[in-house]
Structure 1
Amino acid sequence: MSDAIKPLIGAAAERPLTRGEAEAAFAILFEGEATPSQIGGLLMALRTRGETVDEYAAAAAVMRAKCNAVKAPEGAIDIVGTGGDGKHTLNISTATAFVTAGAGVPVAKHGNRNLSSKSGTADVQTQMGINVMVGPEVVEKALKSCGIAFMMAPMHHPAIAHVMPTRAELGTRTIFNILGPLTNPAGVKRQLTGAFTRDLIRPMAETLGKLGSERAWLVHGSDGTDELTITGVSWVSALETDGSVKDVELHPEDAGLPVHPFEAIVGGSPEDNANAFRALLDGEKNAYRDAVLLNSAAALVVADAANDLREGVEKAKESIDSGAAKSKVESLAAVTSAA
């Protein structure tokens, strides 16, 4: 039991914690000094009142400091969603990561098994022959040789083991639902990140700015998805290189792409989603391809590899149709399977 955390729990229930207070509280959690009751008390005090940007930044900074870090190439980007949207779509951000890498941008993708999805990124990558349970050394090797790697959160954030049982017992969303996209072990400075609610995108963009990111788009689709949607409008909070955050709306037509019905991007089992991914890599043209082109275009803009979405779409098409994206999948499978 930690006596030091008791006044912080009380304070968190009544007012926003300062960044220093929040860092102290989360350091106690991650060092295993708090009891399950104290962990639950802090998490629910924050959740009930509503977390602040300083509290997000503090928790993320402590997690980053305690992680098994990875050295990524200059200009690397993370493409990730919070999960939790419950929409069971095809694996759009996963495919986007490989298409972006095929277009020449290094991708250091961070994630976990998604309990809210029938087929999360780890599931579909496993179906594609990629070993996701590899440590920092293999991740760095993959980044150097393949230009893409996947960092499984438990392999890089062992300190979260102290809070996982309490999270499972609470059975509700807490600050940890959004910490994954804020705690990339490679310390990337560019991100395309989806959130399960529009309310989170600006606070998350502001948090990434406080944590030293150079450029990031935080996005939420009007159909409820944690990515840019091909079904209509998406909302974006864009962290710019000058530190400002700009709120914009995007539509597929802004990128020269058609709108598709939501039913056209609904996924299924890991096997079903992997088969759809293989067909995409082989050039099949459908709603899934257009959704991936849209998100890849955004990633390329964030990475300064495209001037606008339309140019990004053309580069993403070339990545797929040239076989470059498929080659990234095959090379990552080879490197991780040999580990």
Structure 2
Amino acid sequence: MTFTRNLNLIIQRKNLDQDQMALMLEDIFSGQITEAQIGAFMAALATKGETFEELAGAARAMRRKASRIQTVSKKVIDTCGTGGDSSGSFNISTTTAIVVAGCGVTVAKHGNRSISSKCGSADVLESLGVNIDTDPEVVEEAVNEIGIGFMFAPRFHGAMKYAAKARKDVGIRSIFNMLGPLTNPAAASCQLLGVYAPQLTEMFAQALKLLGVSKAFVVHGHDGMDEITTTAPTRVSELKSGLIRSYDLDPIEFFEDYAATEDLKGGDVELNARITRDILNGDPGPKRNIVLLNSAAALVAADAAADIKEGLELAAGALDSGRAKEKLEQLADFTQENA
């Protein structure tokens, strides 16, 4: 059996090519593989260590099984990250997505409920009035008409059910924890992607390149956050025109001082929703600043800003004018009306 043969290669610490990994995932997603085999696959691959070719191959298989949405705009961005950074921060990437949409960029936000934190993107959006559990057709319409939509992972990636029990039973971080940001159902052409470890930035950028993403920032804060942080420099691997460049981005270039980690803390769903509302209502401070910085990078990735400085100005304008808040209200109204 091909799955067993490829599993033995992984156990021997041999790397697979994209096609070999895609075949393994297709077998899993078709329900042909036992939970014991899936568990062995997860453990062996995690022990060997994933390569960017393996990530891309797995993502291709998952994309093929997903429900897809078609976008009118050719420039669509996602701000989905891996999560798993244990920082306890508020929902920075979700708030960023709303601000970027307020700047006029089409956003197809991919996400799920909380896995390792108290509050995932789906949780906070639901608390903010968005109906997250809508049909793909409704999400497609929201993206194309409003300029922002939320793709709730369980609605779009039904085949993941075949790996669910093995993932829960084995209980380790595996390749399945990495695939969310690489499997956007709208095939977003540009991304701001936070990862939970610094060594992953270049690997994910290489995977995005293989998957056809045109421009991306893959980021990991030196404080451990899977965001562009404001408490320390951030490791960035930038994908642009087929080339990848890695460097450190220092927030001190844009703000007077570093933020304190405590200033970025979130909590439960209610608290995180309130934080997002406060930012959208124009409240100043470190929480606003980190959203501005991440929004600026997303705007550069989407070719809506020439550089971070211009992106900061555009993001601040979307907040101060109320355009970002209006986008959230439009999304909430639309998804409730089309439930």
TM range (shorter): over 0.9
Q: Give the counterpart letter for 1:78 in structure 2.
A: D
* Amino acid in the other structure paired with 2:262: E
Contact 1:254 1:309 (C-alpha < 8 Å) held by counterparts: no
- 1:35-60 CA-to-partner distances (Å, cap 9, x unmatched) read 00111111111110011111101100
The residue that corresponds to 1:328 in the other structure is 327
- Is 1:17 the counterpart of 2:16 in the alignment? yes
Q: Distance in 2 between matches of 1:321 and 1:215?
A: 28
Deviates more, 1:114-123 or 1:158-167: 114-123
Distance in 2 (alpha carbons) for counterparts of 1:216 and 1:274: 27
Is 1:6 matched with 2:4?
A: yes
CA 1:56–1:257 in 2, change beyond 3 Å: closer, same or farther?
farther
Q: Which residue of 2 aligns with 1:56?
A: 55
Q: Distance in 2 between matches of 1:176 and 1:258?
A: 37
Q: Which amino acid aligns with 2:130?
A: I
Unaligned runs of 5+ in 1: none
- 1:231 and 1:171 map into 2 onto residues whose CA distance is 31
Partner of 1:41: 40
**Equivalent residues in 2 for 1:23-34 (5 A)?**
23-34=22-33
Query: Which position in structure 2 is the counterpart of 1:231?
Result: 231
2:171 & 2:256 partners in 1: Cα distance? Answer: 39
1:229 corresponds to which letter in structure 2?
T
SS at match of 1:238: strand
Output aligned runs, 1:168-317, within 5 Å.
Answer: 168-241=168-241, 243-256=242-255, 258-317=257-316
Secondary structure class of the residue paired with 1:37: helix
Pair 311,258 (structure 1): closer, same or farther in 2 beyond 3 Å: farther
Amino acid at match of 2:296: A
Q: Give the secondary structure class of the aligned counterpart of 2:79.
A: strand
Deviation at 1:244, TM superposition (A): 1.1
Q: Distance in 2 between matches of 1:140 and 1:22?
A: 30
Distance apart, 1:256 and its partner CA? 4.3
Letter in 1 for 2:41: L
Contact 1:257 1:294 in 2 (8 A): no
Give the letter aligned to residue 187 of structure 1: A
1:204 is paired with a residue whose SS is: helix
How do 1:52-131 and structure 2 match up within 5 A?
52-72=51-71, 73-131=73-131
Q: Is the 8 A contact 1:294 1:309 kept in 2?
A: yes
| C-alpha separation in 2, matches of 1:109 and 1:91 | 13
**Helix, strand or coil at the partner of 1:81:** coil
Whole-angstrom CA distance in 2 between matches of 1:53 and 1:276? 35
- Work out the CA distance in 2 between the residues paired with 1:18 and 1:325: 42
Q: 1:299 to 1:104 in 2, by over 3 A?
A: same
Unaligned 5+ runs, structure 2? none
Structure 1 runs of 4+ with >4 Å offset: none
Superposed displacement of residue 257, structure 1: 5.7
- Structure 1 SS opposite 2:56: helix
Post-superposition offset of 1:123: 1.1
Which secondary structure does the structure 2 equivalent of 1:167 belong to? Answer: helix
Counterpart CA distance in 2 for 1:46 and 1:270 is 34
1: CA distance, partners of 2:276 / 2:4: 49
Corresponding residue SS for 2:205: helix
**C-alpha separation in 2, matches of 1:20 and 1:333:** 40
Shift of the alpha carbon at 1:258? 3.8
- Paired-residue identity, %: 43
Matched residue type, 1:126: E
Shift of 1:18: 2.1
Deviation at 1:209, TM superposition (A): 0.1
Indicate conservation of the 8 Å contact 1:85/1:196, yes or no: yes
- Paired residue type of 1:45: A
What are the superposed Cα offsets for residues 310-329 of structure 1, whole Å, 9 maximum, x if unpaired? Answer: 11000000000000000000
For residues 102 and 256 of structure 1, the distance between their equivalents in structure 2, rounded to whole angstroms, comes to: 22
Q: TM-score with structure 1 length normalisation?
A: 0.97
Which has the larger displacement, 44-53 or 323-332?
Answer: 44-53
- Aligned pair count? 336
Could you report, residue by residue, the CA deviation over 1:212-232 in whole angstroms, capped at 9, with x for unpaired residues?
010010000111010000111
Give per-residue Cα distances to partners, 1:48-88, cap 9 Å, x unaligned: 00111111011000001111001122201001110111111
How much has 1:255 moved relative to structure 2? 3.1
Distance in structure 2 (CA, Å) of the matches to 1:255 and 1:299: 16
Counterpart Cα distance in 1 of 2:309 and 2:258: 15
Counterparts of 2:276 and 2:226, CA distance in 1: 18
